Amino acid sequence: MRKNIVAGNWKMNLKIDDALNLANDVINLLPSDNDVEVVFAPSFIHLEKVNKMCLKLGLVNTASQNVCQQERGAFTGEVSAEMIHSLNVKYAIIGHSERRGYFNETNEDLKLKVDVSLKNNLKVIFCCGESLNHREERFHFDWIKRQISDSLFHLSLDDFRKVVIAYEPIWAIGTGVTATPNQAEEMHKFIREIIKKNYGEEVANNTSILYGGSCTSKNSKDLFYKDNIDGGLIGGASLDPESFISIIKSF
Ligand code: PGA
């Protein structure tokens, strides 16, 4: 059966000492019977040190926040999937709405990023999400379907098994406005149905679908209680060890 996952997206925050302290604090506060997969996504330059700490203690995995769609070569300033995997990092987050919005990443670019990540043995946390306009125009289901099918549905069944989906409505990210548990569940159920149509019931039931967007210790219990919500991709609230731990404990 699918895993419950809580991933902290640290975005462009924290100097190295703060990042290591945060990782250390969370690891120390983890309950001994924790069975939720916990993931930290620090910035690229902190990834190696944070990952080393996590590997040593063996309780948390890490993710990069992005990856270059090119395999290697003359792409100044970029970081390749091969480099990330060489640090023994487990996941790459692909398609975050801040990447799509501020850096103009298209579904086609993201498809390439997914492919190069899987080819280099990284698992993928693939983000999708609609704007408020799309939701108000009742276009949100079509929008999500397009994001997922354009960037993921070319994958073989075996490769698709290495993908975690994060549904993050753009209007909820960093705004303090969370999708209600029913709104999130409705979309997660829809996502699971389209996966089922493409890859069958077994794969659909085994795919973890995370919610993201102003998820905090105040609303995580109600969200994670829903059948199709298998955890969260947490921004702001992942920067505070106590808040992040209480989100992990809400299963
Ligand atoms: P937030 O961010 O929890 O601060 O809304 C979530 C995300 O962007 O992944």
Q: How far is the CA of 234 from the centre of ligand 1 (A)?
A: 5
Region 134-139: mean pLDDT is 94
**DSSP one-letter string for 154-171:** TS-HHHHTTEEEEE--GG
The pLDDT assigned to 57 comes to: 84
Q: Whose CA is nearest to atom 6 of ligand 1?
A: 235
Over the stretch 9-57, which tens digit does the pLDDT of each residue have? Answer: 999 999 999 999 999 999 999 999 999 999 999 999 999 999 999 998 8
User: What does DSSP assign to residue 104?
Assistant: -
Q: How far is the CA of 165 from the centre of ligand 1 (A)?
A: 14
Q: Which position among 96, 134, 140, 188 bears the catalytic label? A: 96
- CA 125 to mean position of chain CA atoms: 4
| Residue 168, ligand 1, Cβ within 6 A | yes
